């Protein structure tokens, strides 16, 4: 989920929190402990394996026959599995408590050693991309097992026009641990350490707790939280501006040397999606702002008895909404039953997450904010992280992240190199899982007020997923374009942020002083530039998929599972053809946007 709202500075597991016993990760499926002999053995093996790989294959790829190249790919894949296992363990431990200096050191040391070891592999992609097209085509035609890796090779060779000399590529690989990676850690640790003095609260709160208050039924508490956020962001704004300036400049340098035509182009390449498809999505969403967010927020202002909404009203519950806490057992039951109603296989795939320590749900001091599903490696299993606070939206976040987990389990059969789904399709199973859960709850609604509350919540989630993420994308595009012209002051970045807010949210809003700094806490801008359009992409795609499901497309479930099992082994055109969908159709995105507009129509009809 993009920005799952979570909460306080207490251990929800220890206190109970009214949610029941919340699950914690059991990371022993990766390694028994940081000092486990298996961890040390894998680290030692990795160094030797990388050196042996380079000694065996460097300078020799062009002379390999099909069987020899297949062996090289398989050797590389095994190295990838071991390096991924090491870094998954170090990273997941760190995210459980980013304020623990031992965990931070353990991850940094692991990252450094893995980077040092894998420097020997830098030649692989460079030399592979120098293979003659006809020669590679003959090898693929000669060996079906090798040909299975064609999608990996296609993505690799898409970088051919943008790769640098062998020496420069090695330098960039070595330098990465003190480049973007180091700035990412600074951002994470700073965010985890921020505390907010919210007027009326008995003690200072962390970021999750303060963001959580923006959904509080009491308007004064929401305002107090918003003003506390603004005050702390303002005090730290020079640091956050420095992080963004540095990362954007580093990216501009890399892109210039690699002759990337735009800051966004590298993301499109890694997503295996055509720039014109993303542009069509962006343009369709921006054109739909008036019939989606602008219209919905005018309705919400009326429901709340307000002439104008303030930013702290954006995610406020409706006045008719009865505040309720959903305990963990009920959340598990709701999502599992929604998955099972679609197909029992889906519930079966989700079951181990609940039963085997694959979910870490409690809010704890130092724990990373938000939620995610991490696939680890294909020889183990995914892990899901939540900050569960018993809100109905937290149930939707659980459905979302479990969808990722199910997708990752199914795609693991492709092996390490073919399992990873491009970001544009990586949100498909997660958003579909949300939709299944929402439809179950809507069908079970007993009163018009309950139905209205569910519909409004879903519309707000979709606006956050589609409208807000495209506004984020536009902000990033503007920020990177402006940074290419020179250093940006905090006021410069603030102005870029505000330029997309009124456009996307509409004329129902006033924007308090201080809201201009709220770009500072969005992690995607720091960790994954231009990632955000993947959320809108996934929502639009799932809306079209769900329409095909509702229309009774024969064999939909089997086709859906085959799509998830494919992982990254097929292009989006091939994956979606069985559903009669084509992302390159200019009218494709209007189908999903019309579904959101239809929900708003239903809300208007309930007036």
Candidates 148, 207, 194, 193; CA nearest to 566 is: 148
Structure-token pair, residue 425: 């399709």
**pLDDT band (50, 70, 90) for residue 482:** very high
**pLDDT band (50, 70, 90) for residue 333:** very high
pTM here is: 0.81
Assess if residue 545 is contained within a domain.
no
Query: What is the average per-residue pLDDT within 160-177?
Result: 81
Q: Give the 3-state secondary structure of residue 205.
A: strand
Assess if residue 606 is contained within a domain.
no
Assess if residue 82 is contained within a domain.
yes
Q: What is the CATH number of the domain that holds 116?
A: 1.20.140.70
Judge whether residue 330 has pLDDT over 70.
yes
CA-to-CA dists, residue 211 to 5, 95, 222, 315, angstroms: 6, 19, 9, 10
pLDDT at 13: 35
Each residue of 354-397: pLDDT tens digit?
999 999 999 888 898 889 999 999 999 999 999 998 888 899 99
Judge whether residue 6 has pLDDT over 70.
no
In percent, the amount of the chain with pLDDT more than 70 equals: 97
Assess if residue 514 is contained within a domain.
no
pLDDT at 72: 97
CA-to-CA dists, residue 408 to 216, 396, 427, 588, angstroms: 34, 19, 11, 26
DSSP letter assigned to residue 176 = G
pLDDT at 219: 96
Judge whether residue 11 has pLDDT over 80.
no
Candidates 77, 52, 29, 36; CA nearest to 416 is: 77
| Residue 10 or 212, more confident | 212
Q: What is the number of structural domains in the chain? A: 1
Judge whether residue 449 has pLDDT over 90.
no
Assess if residue 44 is contained within a domain.
yes
Query: What is the average per-residue pLDDT within 132-143?
Result: 96
Judge whether residue 12 has pLDDT over 70.
no
Judge whether residue 326 has pLDDT over 60.
yes
Structure-token pair, residue 452: 């209205």
Query: What is the average per-residue pLDDT within 177-197?
Result: 89
Assess if residue 505 is contained within a domain.
no
pLDDT at 4: 28
pLDDT at 7: 22
Query: What is the average per-residue pLDDT within 292-311?
Result: 95
CA-to-CA dists, residue 585 to 281, 284, 581, angstroms: 11, 12, 9
User: How deeply is 204 buried, as exposed, middle or buried, from its count of CB atoms within 10 A (0-12, 13-18, 19+)?
Assistant: middle
Distance CA 477, CA 262 (A): 9
Assess if residue 544 is contained within a domain.
no
Assess if residue 55 is contained within a domain.
yes
Judge whether residue 604 has pLDDT over 80.
yes
pLDDT at 17: 57
pLDDT at 552: 94
**pLDDT band (50, 70, 90) for residue 83:** very high
**Any idea of the CA torsion for 323, 325, 330, 332, to the nearest 10 degrees?**
110
HEC states along 345-396? HHHHHHHHHHHCCCEECCCCCCCCCCCEEECCCCCCCCEEECCCCCCHHHHH
Judge whether residue 310 has pLDDT over 80.
yes
pLDDT at 171: 83
pLDDT at 9: 25
Residue 77: domain span: 31-163
How far separated are the first and last CA of the chain, in Å rounded?
30
Distance CA 185, CA 246 (A): 14
């Amino acid at each position: 989920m993009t920005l799952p709202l979570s909460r306080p500075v207490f251990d929800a597991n220890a206190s109970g929190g009214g949610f029941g016993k919340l699950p914690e990760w059991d990371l022993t499926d990766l390694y028994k402990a940081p000092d486990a002999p298996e961890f040390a053995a894998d680290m030692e093996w990795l160094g030797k394996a990388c050196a042996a790989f380079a000694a065996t294959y460097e300078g020799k790829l062009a002379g390999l026959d099909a069987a020899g190249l297949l062996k090289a790919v398989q050797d590389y894949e095994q190295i990838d599995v071991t390096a991924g296992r090491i870094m998954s363990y170090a990273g997941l431990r760190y995210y459980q408590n980013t304020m623990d200096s031992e965990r931070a050191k353990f991850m940094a040391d692991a990252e450094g050693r893995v980077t040092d070891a894998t420097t020997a592999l830098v030649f692989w992609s460079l030399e592979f991309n120098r293979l003659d097209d006809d020669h590679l085509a003959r090898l693929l035609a000669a060996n079906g097992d090798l040909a299975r890796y064609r999608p990996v090779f296609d993505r690799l060779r898409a970088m051919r026009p943008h790769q640098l000399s062998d020496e420069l590529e090695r330098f960039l690989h070595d330098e990465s641990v003190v480049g973007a990676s180091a700035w990412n850690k600074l951002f994470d640790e700073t965010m985890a350490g921020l505390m907010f003095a919210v007027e009326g609260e008995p003690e200072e709160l962390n970021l999750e707790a303060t963001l959580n208050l923006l959904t509080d039924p009491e308007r004064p508490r929401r305002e107090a939280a918003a003003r506390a956020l603004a005050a702390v962001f303002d005090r730290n704004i020079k640091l956050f501006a420095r992080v963004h300036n540095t990362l954007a400049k580093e990216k501009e340098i890399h892109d210039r040397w690699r002759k990337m035509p735009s800051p966004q182009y590298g993301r499109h390449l890694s997503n295996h999606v055509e720039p014109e498809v993303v542009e069509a999505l962006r343009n369709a969403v921006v054109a739909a702002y008036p019939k989606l967010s602008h219209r919905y927020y005018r309705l919400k202002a009326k429901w709340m008895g307000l002439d104008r909404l303030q930013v702290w009203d954006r995610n406020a519950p409706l006045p008719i909404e009865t505040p309720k806490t959903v305990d963990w057992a009920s959340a598990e039951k709701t999502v599992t039953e929604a998955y099972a109603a679609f197909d029992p296989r889906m519930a079966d795939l989700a079951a181990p997450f609940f039963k085997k320590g694959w979910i870490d749900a409690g809010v704890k001091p130092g724990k990373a904010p938000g939620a995610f599903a991490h696939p680890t490696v294909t020889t183990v299993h995914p892990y899901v992280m939540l900050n569960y606070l018993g809100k109905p939206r937290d149930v939707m976040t659980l459905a979302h992240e479990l969808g990722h987990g199910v997708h990752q389990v199914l795609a693991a059969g492709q092996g390490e190199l073919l399992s990873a789904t491009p970001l544009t399709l990586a949100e498909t199973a997660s958003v579909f899982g949300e939709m299944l859960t929402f439809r179950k709850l809507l069908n079970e609604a007993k009163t018009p007020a309950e139905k209205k509350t569910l519909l409004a919540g879903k519309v707000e989630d979709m606006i956050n997923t589609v409208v807000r993420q495209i506004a984020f994308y536009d902000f990033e595009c503007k920020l990177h374009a402006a940074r290419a012209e020179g250093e940006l002051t905090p006021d410069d970045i603030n102005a870029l942020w505000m330029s997309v807010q009124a456009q996307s949210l509409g004329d129902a809003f006033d924007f308090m002083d201080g809201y201009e700094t709220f770009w500072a806490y969005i992690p995607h801008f720091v960790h994954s530039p231009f990632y955000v359009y993947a959320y809108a992409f996934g929502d639009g795609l799932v809306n079209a998929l769900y329409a095909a499901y509702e229309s009774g497309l024969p064999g939909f479930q089997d086709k859906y599972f085959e799509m998830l099992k494919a992982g990254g082994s097929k292009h989006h055109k091939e994956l979606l053809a069985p559903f009669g969908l084509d992302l390159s159709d200019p009218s494709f995105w209007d189908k999903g946007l019309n579904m959101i507009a239809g929900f708003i129509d239903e809300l208007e009809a309930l007036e």
